[in-house]
Structure 1
Amino acid sequence: MSSFAFSGLNLAITAPFDPNGRIDFNRFQELIERYLAAGVDGIVFSSGTGMHVYLSPDESRSLIERGARIVAGRAKVIAQASALLTADVVARTRFAKDSGADGVMILPPFFEGPSDDNSVFDFYAEVAKVGLPIIGYNVPQAVGVRITPDLLRRLCELPEFRAVKDSSGDLIGQVRLIGTGLDVINGADPLVPFSLFAGCSGLIWGGANIAPRTCVAIVKAAREKRWDDVQSLWRLLEPIMSLLWDGDYVPSVYAAAELTGYGCGHARKPFRPLSTDRIAALRKALGALVEQEAVR
């Protein structure tokens, strides 16, 4: 993972909210500093875990601009620039570039958009004209567009298209993408150790908001090929990462982060507060991570 610009652990950071549902920018800065201190390699602002689709354009821009300014070159900065209109994606990408982001993460056309390879290629080619590195996004279960190995090879002919983030949860499919020899970023939390062993180029990890020290440690162990340590660390992480993936992902990340001391408020509407049973399940799945990640 060493030669790739976005190698290592890129944290898909939450957007913290105050009790009135507004972005808490003071808390935002505190969290960024704590995650940097934990050793993350990059931070994704306005990510899916950061509630991108439930932020206004101004809120998204504020998170990206302020986030890049706070990070100030201490880690890579990736901005989510996804939108329905191609012109909006281009504008968001240009804003990210002007704000100092190192790259953008962009969904292919979605919500009944074109799914043929030519249209997907044309879309990314249009955005690539901005001149900022692009990470594509493979999440076919949500978007309806699958980035296949053949399409990835074609997209990577664009100078600015650097990698695809694979959040499909399909390990076999991801291994086939990795088999192209091109850069693939794992975005499915339960696949982390398997993706690292298979040779993924990096991670974009929402669940790392909950346990950044442990998540950084597992990536470091994989870099050093200490696979016994990877396995031991994964035993701690697997219960919570698998539970998150079962459903209610975003509000569960928010709730679990509260339990480990990385509180960011509650997920914004339309998400409802989690049930007491779900909170209890999260607490149980966290196990020793609560103490291990406690604020020191």
Structure 2
Amino acid sequence: MTTPQFTGILAAAVTPLTADGSAVDAAGIKRQADHIISGGIHGLVPGGSTGEFTTLTLDERKQATELYVEAAAGRVPVIAGTGALGTAETVELSMHAEKAGASAVMIVPPFYDAPTFEELLTYFGTVSEAIDIPVMYYNIPSATGVQLTTDELAKLARETAVTSYKDTGGDFSWFTAVQEHHAGDITALNGWDTLTFAALASGAKAGVWGTASVIPQLCADLYDALAVRGDLIAGRELWSKIFPICQFLESHNYACGIKTGLELVGASAGPTRAPVLPLAPEYREELCTLLIAAGVETVDASVAA
């Protein structure tokens, strides 16, 4: 198995939909990939929570993966979200992602009925035997009900193809403990927007970040300042612009907030899929104001004026 070391900022990407929300928009995916990559972002992660994967059919998930790999065109790695409620479906999606050209897959534990750790070992072990690309464990306890200990996470990595994990748990002490005590077993990637500065400053090699889909250049600049150059002063200046946007997005339906932001910066990805409703006008205006304050050019003239 090839084991790439993901570094930098990987954008948690949306699934662009047609205007009526009924189908995946191929042109929209190309638009997203070009917008994100041209902003200096280091990878794409479609098919996760930001990608509304729970609302997509199996065929739509496969289609989105294929289109993102095609749109990336080898410029950056694509890590495809392939987690599902059942092992068979996860294996099917993961095998398809590998065949489509994904560099790795990101797998969330089965949700709704939280599995035991032994069940997780079997689940990830079965997927690992079916593919020859690495697995990124998607840690999001609020959605799955699964909260591993740091030792359990390290054991999962040692016994399966899991080589990294996206942490969307929000427990920075837990995240730091993995970094400090289990770096030899698994690579920690931050996935909690408002903890990005702290994670990069503490030595995280990468982050999976939805905000990077909206303001890729600012997010890439933050990574360069903190993780590459070690320039805390420059990093703090950038973070003062980025943090309010992250805080806003965490206080609303995340995928909806990201898609609204994309529309505001001229990289529209269509609506979210029902039952999620559009942001109320006052929240849309607030987000536009935050983007303008961060120096981001928007296409919402009513607020920009």
Q: TM-score if structure 1 supplies the norm length?
A: 0.93
Query: In the alignment, does 2:223 pair up with 1:219?
Result: yes
SS in structure 1 opposite 2:159?
A: coil
List runs of 5+ in structure 2 lacking aligned partners. 300-305
Counterpart of 1:262?
Answer: 267
> Which amino acid is 1:43 matched to?
L
Contact 1:211/1:289 (CA < 8 Å) preserved in 2?
no
Q: C-alpha separation between the residues in 2 aligned to 1:92 and 1:18?
A: 23
| Aligned residue in 2 for 1:232 | 237
Alignment-derived partner of residue 285 in structure 1: 290
Match in the other structure for 1:252: 257
Q: 2:302 aligns to what?
A: none
Task: Work out which of the residue numbers 182, 185, 189 in structure 1 matches 2:189.
Answer: 185
- Structure 1 residue runs without a partner (length 5+): none
Q: What CA deviation, in whole Å up to 9, does each residue of 1:198-253 have, x standing for no partner?
A: 22221111111110110111111122211111111000001010111123211111
Matched residues, percent identical? 28
Work out whether 1:200 is the aligned partner of 2:201: no
User: 1: CA distance between counterparts of 2:296 and 2:97?
Assistant: 37
Flag the 1:293–1:215 CA change in 2: closer, same or farther, 3 A: farther
Q: 1:4 to 1:220 in 2, by over 3 A?
A: farther
Matched residue of 2:158: which SS?
A: coil
1:213 and 1:293 in contact (8 A); partners too: no
Q: Which residue of 2 aligns with 1:8?
A: 8
Opposite residue 117 of structure 2, the aligned amino acid is: D
Q: Report what 1:125 is aligned to.
A: 125
8 Å CA contact 1:139, 1:166 repeated in 2: yes
Following the alignment from structure 1 to structure 2, what is the Cα–Cα distance between the partners of residues 134 and 258?
A: 32
SS at match of 1:84: coil
Deviations 1:105-137 (A, max 9, x none): 0011221132x3222112111111122200001
Partners of 2:40 and 2:148 lie apart in 1 by 31
Quick one: distance in 1 between partners of 2:217 and 2:54? 28
The answer to whether the Cα contact below 8 Å between 1:239 and 1:286 also exists between their aligned partners in 2 is no
Residue of structure 1 in register with 2:147 after alignment: 146
Shift of 1:290: 5.5
Cα RMSD (Å): 1.7
Indicate if the aligned counterparts of 1:77 and 1:102 stay in contact, CA closer than 8 A.
yes
* Equivalent runs, 1:17-28 vs 2, <5 Å: 17-21=17-21, 22-28=23-29
C-alpha contact 2:215 2:296 (8 A) present in aligned 1: no
Q: Secondary structure at the match of 2:274?
A: coil
1:209 equivalent in structure 2: 213
Shift of 1:184: 0.5
Alpha-carbon spacing, 1:284–1:70, altered in 2? closer, same or farther (3 Å): closer
In the TM superposition, residue 291 of structure 1 has moved relative to its aligned partner by 3.3
Counterparts of 2:4 and 2:223, CA distance in 1 = 14
1:79 corresponds to 2:80: yes
2:277 equivalent in structure 1: 272
Deviations 1:244-296 (A, max 9, x none): 112321111111221122221221111112112211221233233363577xx
How many residue pairs align between the two structures? Answer: 291
Distance 2:97 2:124 in 1: 16
How far apart are 1:61 and its partner, in Å?
Answer: 0.5
Q: Secondary structure at the match of 1:43?
A: strand
- Residue in 1 aligned with 2:90? 89
CA distance in 2 between counterparts of 1:289 and 1:145 reads 36
Runs of 4+ in 1 over 3 A off after TM superposition: 289-294
Query: Which amino acid in 1 is paired with 2:153?
Result: L
Per-residue Cα deviation, 1:15-35 (whole angstroms, up to 9, x for no partner):
112222132211211221222
Q: Report the Cα distance in structure 1 between the residues aligned to 2:298 and 2:196, rounded to whole angstroms.
A: 19
- 2: distance between equivalents of 1:162 and 1:248? 29
